[in-house]
């Protein structure tokens, strides 16, 4: 448990992977999750449409400057030739692994028959996978859902196509396309997929704690775990899972002071990447996630979201965590 995992020539430090999430897994967040114990972090999805590669949004998404670790970039699209070109373009810009998105259920993506909509078209899936694998000299990985709908869980067929096409590892989200993010993820299909292919299989969907990560690994036999939404405002989940898999004991979450240091440095990295004007806005959602369980009445967030100045944002965060720290100390004294 918590073993190293291999994707092509790359040995990961462990088998815990940060899921690519549009608008979330930018360079500051990826770097933080890697530092907090993720063995691999995957960038936000990039369209295979070359017209958008030069937009500010795409340029930021492709920014891997100063990133340590293995650079994995996710691409999405439905035309084999364009997908092959997108893969080449990203490898030329430093990608060491190319990940293909056939897991995103978003309507915006699915309207274009990309993401999980492709699961309806196994022949096209094979064409895309082969085109991308043949276009680049780096490992190509794939992310899918368990199928198109509950009546059409064709994940095993797609997994076999992936293996035959030269895909080096497969991440499976335990829902179908029609489930979107509703209901609970199921792991039976992931278990069945793992039993039917010889490439590494990574389990994804609703993994929100160290114990659950272990349970899912045990149940599915998967080679690794992919965590997405549970890492938002909670990047130390990777550290906690890694510790639990190795030692069987729970690692406490950071103290308010450590949390302050982590979130403030994260926010400062956001300013560095996007500039102060955009950075102030982008910082708001991350701060909202960090404070989810502390600011239950959302009072602090309402005030924080009105702040237009980066210095004042940092000041407000310092105050909030300092107060939290005092409260934690007085609770500890009272309990003693």
Q: How confident is the model at residue 262 (pLDDT cuts 50, 70, 90)?
A: very high
The single-letter DSSP state of residue 63 is -
Is residue 187 located within the same domain as residue 39? Answer: yes
Is residue 303 located within the same domain as residue 181? Answer: no
Domain holding 295, by residue range, is: 256-335
Mean pLDDT computed over 78-82: 91
The Cα–Cα gap between 16 and 18 comes to 7
pLDDT at 91 (0 to 100): 92
The Cα–Cα gap between 154 and 36 comes to 35
Is residue 165 located within the same domain as residue 92? Answer: yes
pLDDT at 139 (0 to 100): 98
- Report the domain count for the chain: 2
Is residue 235 located within the same domain as residue 317? Answer: no
Is residue 157 located within the same domain as residue 98? Answer: yes
33 included as an active-site residue:
no
The Cα–Cα gap between 201 and 210 comes to 19
Active-site residue identified among 33, 104, 179, 333: 104
Is residue 243 located within the same domain as residue 282? Answer: no
Is residue 144 located within the same domain as residue 283? Answer: no
The Cα–Cα gap between 206 and 201 comes to 16
**CB-count exposure of residue 175 (10 Å: 0-12, 13-18, 19+):** buried
Is residue 227 located within the same domain as residue 271? Answer: no
Please say which residue of 200, 226, 247 terminates a domain.
247
pLDDT at 45 (0 to 100): 77
Predicted model pTM = 0.89
Is residue 309 located within the same domain as residue 260? Answer: yes
pLDDT at 271 (0 to 100): 97
| Contact by Cβ (8 Å): 144, 159 | yes
Helices 188-196 and 155-165 meet at what angle, rounded to 10? 30
Q: If phi over 0 gives left and psi between -120 and 50 gives alpha, with beta otherwise, what is residue 138?
A: beta
Is residue 230 located within the same domain as residue 173? Answer: yes
Please say which residue of 200, 225, 247 terminates a domain.
247
Q: What is the pLDDT of residues 283-300, one digit of tens each?
A: 999 999 999 888 888 899
Is residue 236 located within the same domain as residue 290? Answer: no
Is residue 172 located within the same domain as residue 302? Answer: no
pLDDT at 69 (0 to 100): 78
pLDDT at 336 (0 to 100): 46
Please say which residue of 247, 271, 301 terminates a domain.
247
Q: Average the pLDDT over each of 24-38, 59-73, 173-187, 217-231 and give the range with the smallest value.
A: 59-73
Q: How many CA atoms lie within 13 A of 237 on its CB side?
A: 23
Q: What is the pLDDT of residues 85-123, one digit of tens each?
A: 999 999 998 899 999 988 776 655 545 566 667 888 899
- Is the pLDDT reported for residue 230 higher than 60? yes
Q: What CATH code is carried by the domain that includes residue 67?
A: 3.20.20.70
């Amino acid at each position: 448990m918590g073993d190293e995992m291999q994707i092509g020539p790359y040995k990961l430090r462990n088998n815990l992977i940060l899921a690519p999430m549009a608008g979330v897994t930018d360079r500051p967040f990826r770097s933080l999750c890697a530092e907090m114990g993720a063995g691999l972090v995957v960038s936000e999805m990039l369209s295979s449409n070359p017209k958008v590669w030069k937009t500010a949004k795409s340029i930021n998404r492709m920014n891997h400057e100063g990133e340590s670790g293995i650079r994995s970039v996710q691409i999405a699209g439905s035309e084999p030739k364009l997908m092959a070109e997108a893969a080449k373009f990203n490898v030329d810009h430093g990608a060491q692994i190319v990940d293909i998105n056939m897991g995103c259920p978003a309507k915006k993506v699915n309207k274009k028959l990309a993401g999980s909509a492709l699961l309806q078209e196994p022949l096209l899936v094979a064409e895309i996978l082969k085109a991308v694998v043949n276009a680049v000299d780096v490992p190509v990985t794939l992310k899918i859902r368990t199928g198109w709908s509950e009546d059409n869980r064709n994940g095993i067929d797609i997994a076999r196509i992936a293996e035959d096409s030269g895909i080096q590892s497969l991440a499976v989200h335990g829902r179908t396309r029609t489930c979107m993010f509703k209901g609970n993820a199921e792991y039976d299909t992931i278990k069945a997929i793992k039993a039917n292919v010889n490439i590494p299989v990574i389990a994804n969907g609703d993994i929100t704690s160290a114990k659950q990560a272990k349970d899912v690994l045990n149940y599915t036999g998967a080679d690794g775990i992919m965590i997405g939404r549970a890492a938002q405002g909670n990047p130390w989940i990777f550290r906690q899972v890694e510790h639990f898999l190795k030692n069987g004991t729970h690692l406490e979450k950071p103290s308010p002071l450590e949390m302050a240091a982590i979130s403030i440095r994260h926010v400062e990295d956001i300013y560095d990447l996007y500039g102060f004007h955009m950075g102030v806005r982008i910082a708001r959602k991350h701060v909202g996630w960090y404070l989810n369980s502390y600011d239950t009445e959302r009072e602090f967030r309402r005030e924080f979201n009105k702040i237009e100045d980066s210095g004042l944002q940092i000041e407000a965060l310092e105050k909030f965590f300092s107060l939290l720290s005092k409260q934690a100390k007085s609770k500890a004294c009272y309990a003693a």
